[in-house]
Structure 1
């Protein structure tokens, strides 16, 4: 029995590592595929990192300026220019495919003279709105550039390094998604179904394969999700509460989105079994003699989060009069007025579409039928996880985070609409902090769908992983055409255009993509082999799984 259990543990670790490699390889492909500055605000993210790297600090909102190198980088990146896959063709606008790629070796290098805006700023200086956020992600990026020596490299090389940093943060979230699902189901094949979820959403690759501060939210909330699941399944130790608070607080030093994890943390402590007593059924909470211990640990977690990073947002309210002040007022006069009856359906549609696949600055749209299919399947798995006995309490904790993030995005847009009759800031990337929770929720739902049968869970893992590889490759192929290939181009023309704009030489670009593809295929083979080996291991009892 011990030998069989050890074999099963080896299969779990091997398959988990393979899935991490699969997601990372897919992310690397997005990092080298996406043209520079073809994800929201990437140029200002880069500028803010360089400001910190060169000692420019973190000015108050409205007092930071985009450094001079960004203007040079935009020109050398062919910005602005409409991409060939744009949903609405705009006659008379510059076209990306018509621009001549800048010479790679002659692209501007970063130095102290162009990385920080001089004081006083020139009359044409553009306000950098990124200082409405805390400096967490930007400080990590600046440290990376300094440590690697890329702080004085060409701007496109520094940008690629920041993109790869975000890919690493996305890949690091994979083990926490799988561990959360395994904690709830007791089945490692079922748990690993949580890992490939990002591959089904090209929008995830476009955003988290670019330089973007959402990546630090993804990894922070993945850890928070795992710790919250541990709590709701009985890990009510003080050190778990402290760890939960520290990670949540560090996430709050990156962006405000981790604040939406608070309801899930509270629910985890409210629903957790206590003192060795099993959780009552189905939703009753046994608080006899446990109310104050629950409250003390929950308060410890939230208090630690406040001390570790939440203080930034309290300071904003006290000093600036708003939780998140406006970094740069935006002109919305060109946006369409949205009637009251259309606000909610329009908001839900926009968030769902951009979650799955609005590329670049939302101008390249994934087929709506695929968006609907993905949304329905994900919602159905969530409903199963929340309604079938066995893991409902844990599923509620999982669902609280993506639901809270989605509600927060729509509520914020509604507040803006109430004053302007226009909807803004409806981007699905704000929900990516819930990726680990959504992956775990999907895994739990499928575990119940296959009737908690270990043999069926292994088949499900193989099928989902294979579909993930196919979906991930299809999304990259779609994006390649949308970014680089117009109607009159051959495939070779588009490849040459990609290679010319890339920060990598053609040889290094081919080697990088080839290695990533080989690793991805190899990773799927490892998952399949691990599932086959698991057939010779003792099955996890069907009663496994926790409330």
Structure 2
């Protein structure tokens, strides 16, 4: 850097713009390889996990069909489940699946063939997805409307919806790397931030299913990247506009967008104090709020209609009254440990991962927290660093506390520890990944960064393959041969046999490419300095 770079308080928008590196260009090739691997892993899961086997997928699909059929979004607990979704789920059945069970692919019905015009909805089954905003479902309903005339088999159309979710999440490693670079991480830790998002098995599993979390995660990632821009001095109105629009998409998708939107506003408060450009920060923050209100109105509506931001139904309250702490705590604690941590690191289906998966998940969480705390101390962070870390990591901490509190409250009221979902933290995981990467860059020299990156890649790549291998338990229960199990996967797949095999081949190519690029990256002599906005601001 040249010595004549003006300090933050004196930087103009033009100067800040020209001194910053491009957001998404010039990143290491391995980052792009990780994006490709994440996409292919999600596409593998999109048919390796049978239709409707993903958590709550029948309800999500039913919500899409309801939105398309009735062109409305009912109130809380007012949406019935579509009978077509129930009939389709009955056709698929439950795991384990055998190769000789599925209907021949040409004979599988379309959604139109599963729909009876005079009997559309269940009279007894409520679809709980109406507790969420409608954007994700309205978007897929529009896709369903376009595809209606094609008469696709119901499972092929669900696969298309799954593939769209995978495409939404594919840029996550790229955005994580860009955010880490923006905040001052060097090359190795930029790659680490990307790997932390790309090689998370539970996120890969979620991305291959129909779930509104996918749109929330994708839109929130852009908000976090924008927060990194703001914290490094970008107070341009156009930046505030795209952050606000991304926040609006998130807010119109799920309640966990609220802490993220609040953090985005906090970033402008920090930037106003830091740069002393209060008027410019206020204008941009106003643009953020105005754009975000395109989605934020939903939560004001909920307050007016229900007296709460997020109405939620997880079972009936106990007739005998709320449980005491002594009664509720053991139920909550056991369920929370068994579900929350595995469903962040490994994914749902706790019966498949078993006690070993729970132990590994808890150990990984403890290791992550301990290493992060040690790095923050060792790195001798400045107050500026501490504030940036708090803004970016604050949402994931707050969301974890919200999940724990809500799950405990449900336990007290219903006797069931519902809602202990580690995946609820995914929308803010990119902020934690960037904080981890920057803290590691500050704390370690080249050797330490090399070891940390190598360990992350090894654990992530191993975990990706291991989690896919666990899927064999859902296929061909009496077979021990891997090929027999794959034959069952391909028999049930919505895709033609050749296309299914092709996805596996492309996954293998992407995996080998990432391994080769990882070896090359780790063999580089020294951790190349990367120009960043944080360095310019300092």
TM-score range, shorter chain: 0.7 to 0.9
Provide the residue aligned with 2:460 in structure 1: 468
Q: Conserved in 1, the CA contact under 8 Å of 2:46 and 2:163?
A: yes
Provide the residue aligned with 1:519 in structure 2: 510
Provide the residue aligned with 2:15 in structure 1: none
Q: Conserved in 2, the CA contact under 8 Å of 1:18 and 1:524?
A: no
Q: CA deviation at 1:160?
A: 0.8
Provide the residue aligned with 2:10 in structure 1: none
Provide the residue aligned with 1:36 in structure 2: 51
TM (normalized to structure 1)?
Answer: 0.81
Residues 537 and 339 of structure 1: is their aligned pair in 2 closer, same or farther, counting only changes over 3 Å?
closer
Provide the residue aligned with 1:448 in structure 2: 442
Provide the residue aligned with 2:392 in structure 1: 398
Give the 3-state SS of the residue equivalent to 2:125 in structure 1: coil
Q: Conserved in 1, the CA contact under 8 Å of 2:216 and 2:249?
A: no
Residues 311 and 329 of structure 1: is their aligned pair in 2 closer, same or farther, counting only changes over 3 Å?
same
Give the 3-state SS of the residue equivalent to 1:66 in structure 2: strand
Give the 3-state SS of the residue equivalent to 2:183 in structure 1: helix
Q: CA deviation at 1:492?
A: 3.3
Q: CA deviation at 1:25?
A: 1.4
Q: What is the rounded CA distance, in whole Å, between the counterparts of 2:274 and 2:438 in structure 1? A: 26
How many residue pairs match? The answer is 507
**495, 515, 525: which one aligns with 2:486:** 495
Residues 357 and 13 of structure 1: is their aligned pair in 2 closer, same or farther, counting only changes over 3 Å?
closer
5+ long unaligned stretches in structure 2? 2-20
Q: CA deviation at 1:181?
A: 0.7
Provide the residue aligned with 1:312 in structure 2: 298
Counterparts of residues 40-439 of structure 1 (less than 5 Å): 40-79=55-94, 81=95, 83=96, 96=97, 100-111=101-112, 114=114, 118=118, 121=121, 123=123, 125-147=124-146, 152-198=151-197, 200-272=199-271, 294=281, 297-305=284-292, 307-326=293-312, 330=315, 339-342=327-330, 345-346=333-334, 349=337, 350-360=339-349, 364-365=353-354, 367-384=357-374, 386-387=376-377, 388=379, 389=381, 391-439=385-433
Give the 3-state SS of the residue equivalent to 1:367 in structure 2: helix
Give the 3-state SS of the residue equivalent to 2:233 in structure 1: coil
Q: What is the rounded CA distance, in whole Å, between the counterparts of 2:238 and 2:67 in structure 1? A: 34
Give the 3-state SS of the residue equivalent to 2:126 in structure 1: coil
Q: CA deviation at 1:109?
A: 0.7
Q: What is the rounded CA distance, in whole Å, between the counterparts of 1:347 and 1:238 in structure 2? A: 46
Q: CA deviation at 1:361?
A: 7.5
Q: CA deviation at 1:405?
A: 1.4
Residues 107 and 119 of structure 1: is their aligned pair in 2 closer, same or farther, counting only changes over 3 Å?
closer
Q: Conserved in 2, the CA contact under 8 Å of 1:53 and 1:142?
A: yes
Name the one with the larger helix percent: 2
Give the 3-state SS of the residue equivalent to 1:168 in structure 2: helix
Give the 3-state SS of the residue equivalent to 2:420 in structure 1: coil
Q: What is the rounded CA distance, in whole Å, between the counterparts of 1:464 and 1:413 in structure 2? A: 31
Q: CA deviation at 1:260?
A: 1.5
Residues 500 and 299 of structure 1: is their aligned pair in 2 closer, same or farther, counting only changes over 3 Å?
same
Residues 161 and 362 of structure 1: is their aligned pair in 2 closer, same or farther, counting only changes over 3 Å?
farther
5+ long unaligned stretches in structure 1? 84-95, 277-288
Q: CA deviation at 1:470?
A: 2.4
Q: What is the rounded CA distance, in whole Å, between the counterparts of 2:150 and 2:297 in structure 1? A: 30
Q: What is the rounded CA distance, in whole Å, between the counterparts of 1:361 and 1:531 in structure 2? A: 35
